[in-house]
Amino acid sequence: MQRRLLTDSLFKYLMTFGGISVIIAISLIFFYLVSVAYPLFKPANVEGWQVYAAPGAPGERTLHLSSEEQREIGARFTDNGSVYFFGFLDGKPRGEAKIKLPQGVSITAFAAGDPHQYVVAYGLSDGRVIVAKQNFAMNFDEQGKRVITPQIVYPLGEEPLVIDTSKSPLRKLAIQSAEDEITLAALTAGGRLQVAGITINKNMITGEAELERTGSMLDGVEGEVQDMTIEVKQRELYVVHADRFVSHFDISDKTGPRFVQKKQVVADGENVSALTILSGGFSLIVGSDKGNLGQWFLVRDGNNAYHLTHIRDFKAMPGSITTLAPEYFRKGFLAGDDLGNIGLYYATSQKLLAREPVGKGAVVAAEISPRANGLLVQDAAGRLSAARVENEFPEVSFSSLWQKVWYESYPEPDYVWQSAAATNDFEPKFSLAPLTLGTLKAAFYAMLIATPLALLGAIFTAYFMTPRMRRVAKPSIEIMEALPTVILGFLAGLWLAPLVENNLAGTLLLFPLMPVAVLLGALCWRLLPESLTGRIPHGWEAALLVPVIMPGIWLSFQIGHPVEAYFFGGDMPHWLSNEMGITFEQRNSLVVGIAMGFAVTPTIFSIAEDAIFSVPRHLTTGSLALGATPWQTLKNVVLLTASPGIFSAVMIGMGRAVGETMIVLMATGNTAVMDFSLFTGFRTLSANIGVEMPEAAVGTTHFRLLFVAALVLFVFTFFVNTLAEVVRQRLREKYSSI
């Protein structure tokens, strides 16, 4: 007995434990999806500030800060030509280098190229330029530990390069470099602005480099030049002048630069105080002395002309902007102001990620480490502050996910989903709007077809049909619920889509023709002699109509072609796109609507039929006994009573349509578009997951956004189904009480 009782309680605990574990495991799905999606919405985190004295002798002015990819070593470039390397987070010296200046010559100007190329240029007092490049050699010692050795190399040789032949000192400088070409822009003390292109011809055999220099003067810049920057492909030059203007030059041809336009980039009474160009070389970030920050880039108009256009403003800094530093590979940047604040921004999402006070006095120079995981800031007191940054998902904000965003090199703001491209400096476009719209579009057209079909069919099956036929008809339709959607998708994509394209008029005609055919069939049946119709009792109408429907479909396709020939010039898709300007795609919403409508019909049918069928009999018999016709009874008694059940059927059907993957994957072109046209395709959230998930790198914004999409689908369907289920249970209780 003891043993039996022990077994009994053991069994109980086992079942309880098992049952609860299963329930927990199931709810794990939700929490796991949330846990992956959540980091996207965490703000950027700047932490672990380390403050140390800037390496180097006192009195040296910092021209530029830099760092290497592992965030191990930082570099400080000063105005006497020294370069100090130091530990990024601890400030310990890691070596130094000195630019070799000719006798009696001093540095009068400085410029840095695109950060990840690590090229800088020194403008000298004799009108010459030295181009230097940082190099971080990485080795491993015996223990397998990483050793990074910083050094300075001279891609154009150590001998300075003559820019200004009149030998006047250079006051401002800009540089951009590539493997075989370097472009410099320089302003001399005399106010002459010139551009120089240096082509490096490497001799394949000896390995010696030969330099070829071309250049010319730039005219038409009024007022004092404050700043200059060259875009990374060395084709555009932007000059800030006269306090608030930017002039844009096309310098693709270094011997004949072309002035394109002049734009006022800050409001009247404000001055441009800092300028930088974001990674990729498209966007200018303009900072003003009032702390305002704006983004500008070239936008192409209808005539193929480019205009420097104001794109967006960012949340202003409290003080005047003193320095701007772009990220190495993304569209983020760091702004420092004269009150000692720094702000970390992201362009695409228009977000201020973090703002912190750093050190004392104005921010003199700033740097974001190459992987955007560290900050380096120098204040006016000559101290460096370094911090670690966690900022992996700056692209995500409400506006970047759901509103129109003006992406680089797009003519206007738009909703775009484009998660990957071949190039490195690509701006990811993560608008969920087109995907959500596509999902709704798919569900809408599917429901448009499924709802009437399923509900009317359910009414007939539950209320009018003879039990004998019901025993066959109901399971036949319900078995289709189990049919793999991959098969429906395949039929829709490879059989239905070409069929519809070839018989567009016929297909569209089906919709009005079907009811007409049914009514005509009914009328004919009524006109037949009673002796014939009397033999078949009521409740077999559906079976009688099958031989009407099939010829109806056939007929519709037969007259479709003559209709197309007569009204649409013989080819309706062609007519639509050429005469009406409506884009027609072979795999379009019509095809998906039919295929997915077909997939959803059994779901709605089955639940609605149950709801109608279980309306208590005494209600209907009572109504009929009072003299109502069967149709009146149905309309006023049965449907009214069963309406919550019907509602829940439609909801569950919609849940299924929203989450369906294979049909939309196979029967649409899967292009993310923002329209509701019947004749174009779309891309849904679910198909997007199916297509992109296997290729998304783990932990990236893209990967997590796909989890967000999955979470949205989960929550939506779960909510809809729960609502339907609650309504259904209420209904069941109501029935049992009647």
Task: Tell me which residues in 305-364 interact with another protein (CB under 8 A).
Answer: none
Residues 36-65 that bind another protein (CB under 8 A): 36
Can you say how many angstroms the Cα of residue 420 is from the centroid of all Cα atoms in its chain? 9
Q: What are phi and psi of 431, to 5 degrees?
A: -90, 120
Q: Half-sphere exposure of residue 468, counting CA atoms within 13 Å on the CB side? A: 6
Least Å distance, CB 232 to another protein, is 34
Least Å distance, CB 128 to another protein, is 50
Least Å distance, CB 34 to another protein, is 11
Which residue type, as a one-letter code, is found at position 469? M
Identify the residue whose tokens are 């009018």. Answer: 464
Q: How many whole angstroms separate alpha carbon 418 and alpha carbon 385?
A: 37
Residues 679-718 that bind another protein (CB under 8 A): 686, 689-690, 693-694, 698, 706-707, 710, 713-714, 717-718
Region of 12-20, 52-60, 147-155, 341-349 interacting with another protein (CB under 8 A): 12-20
Closer Cβ to another protein, 98 or 471, answer by number: 471
Least Å distance, CB 708 to another protein, is 10
Least Å distance, CB 542 to another protein, is 4
Q: Per CB under 8 A, does 726 bind another protein?
A: yes
3-state secondary structure 100-167: CCCCCCCEEEEEECCHHHCEEEEEECCCEEEEEEEEEEEEECCCCCEEEEEEEECCCCCCCEECCCCC
Q: Per CB under 8 A, does 27 bind another protein?
A: yes
Q: Per CB under 8 A, does 33 bind another protein?
A: yes
CB burial of 513-537 (b: ≥16 within 10 Å; e: otherwise) equals bbeebeeebeeeeeeeeeeeeeeee
Q: How many whole angstroms separate alpha carbon 259 and alpha carbon 279?
A: 24
Cα–Cα nearest to 324, from 345, 339, 348, 310 = 345
Q: Per CB under 8 A, does 488 bind another protein?
A: yes
Least Å distance, CB 521 to another protein, is 7
Closer Cβ to another protein, 411 or 515, answer by number: 515
User: Contact, 730 vs 722, CB < 8 A?
Assistant: no
Identify the residue whose tokens are 């069994």. Answer: 11
Least Å distance, CB 663 to another protein, is 10
Q: Per CB under 8 A, does 209 bind another protein?
A: no
Q: What are phi and psi of 271, to 5 degrees?
A: -120, 145
Residues 537-576 that bind another protein (CB under 8 A): 541-546, 548-550, 553, 561-562, 564-565, 569-571, 574
Residues 576-615 that bind another protein (CB under 8 A): 598, 601, 605
Q: Per CB under 8 A, does 398 bind another protein?
A: no
Q: How many whole angstroms separate alpha carbon 517 and alpha carbon 60?
A: 93
Least Å distance, CB 505 to another protein, is 11
Least Å distance, CB 718 to another protein, is 6
Q: How many whole angstroms separate alpha carbon 195 and alpha carbon 290?
A: 31
Closer Cβ to another protein, 402 or 718, answer by number: 718
Least Å distance, CB 287 to another protein, is 41
Q: Half-sphere exposure of residue 578, counting CA atoms within 13 Å on the CB side? A: 8
Contacts with another protein by CB under 8 A: the residue count is 118
Residues 438-477 that bind another protein (CB under 8 A): 452-457, 459-461, 464-465, 473, 475-477
Q: How many whole angstroms separate alpha carbon 314 and alpha carbon 394?
A: 14
23, 138, 147, 640: which one binds another protein (CB under 8 A)? 23
Q: Per CB under 8 A, does 649 bind another protein?
A: no
Q: Per CB under 8 A, does 514 bind another protein?
A: yes
Closer Cβ to another protein, 29 or 640, answer by number: 29
Q: Per CB under 8 A, does 636 bind another protein?
A: no
Least Å distance, CB 682 to another protein, is 16
Interstrand relation of 45-53 and 363-368 (parallel, antiparallel or unpaired): unpaired
Q: How many whole angstroms separate alpha carbon 458 and alpha carbon 453?
A: 8
Q: Per CB under 8 A, does 725 bind another protein?
A: yes
316, 662, 673, 705: which one binds another protein (CB under 8 A)? 662
343, 438, 493, 593: which one binds another protein (CB under 8 A)? 493
Q: Per CB under 8 A, does 484 bind another protein?
A: yes
Closer Cβ to another protein, 11 or 41, answer by number: 11
Least Å distance, CB 677 to another protein, is 22
Closer Cβ to another protein, 391 or 686, answer by number: 686
Query: What contacts 266, CB < 8 A, 6 or more positions away?
Result: 244, 272, 286, 288, 290, 292, 294
Can you say how many angstroms the Cα of residue 657 is from the centroid of all Cα atoms in its chain? 23
Q: Per CB under 8 A, does 528 bind another protein?
A: no
Least Å distance, CB 620 to another protein, is 14
Closer Cβ to another protein, 152 or 505, answer by number: 505
| Two structure tokens written together for 490 | 């395949």
Helix (H, G, I), strand (E, B) or coil at 473: helix
Q: Per CB under 8 A, does 483 bind another protein?
A: yes
CA angle 585, 589, 590 (to 5 degrees): 95
Query: What contacts 523, CB < 8 A, 6 or more positions away?
Result: none
Closer Cβ to another protein, 548 or 619, answer by number: 548
User: Contact, 622 vs 407, CB < 8 A?
Assistant: no
Query: What contacts 569, CB < 8 A, 6 or more positions away?
Result: 575, 579
Cα–Cα nearest to 177, from 153, 159, 149, 150 = 153
Q: How many whole angstroms separate alpha carbon 374 and alpha carbon 88?
A: 9
191, 318, 512, 515: which one binds another protein (CB under 8 A)? 515
138, 211, 420, 519: which one binds another protein (CB under 8 A)? 519
Which residue type, as a one-letter code, is found at position 364? V
Closer Cβ to another protein, 246 or 666, answer by number: 666
Least Å distance, CB 583 to another protein, is 17
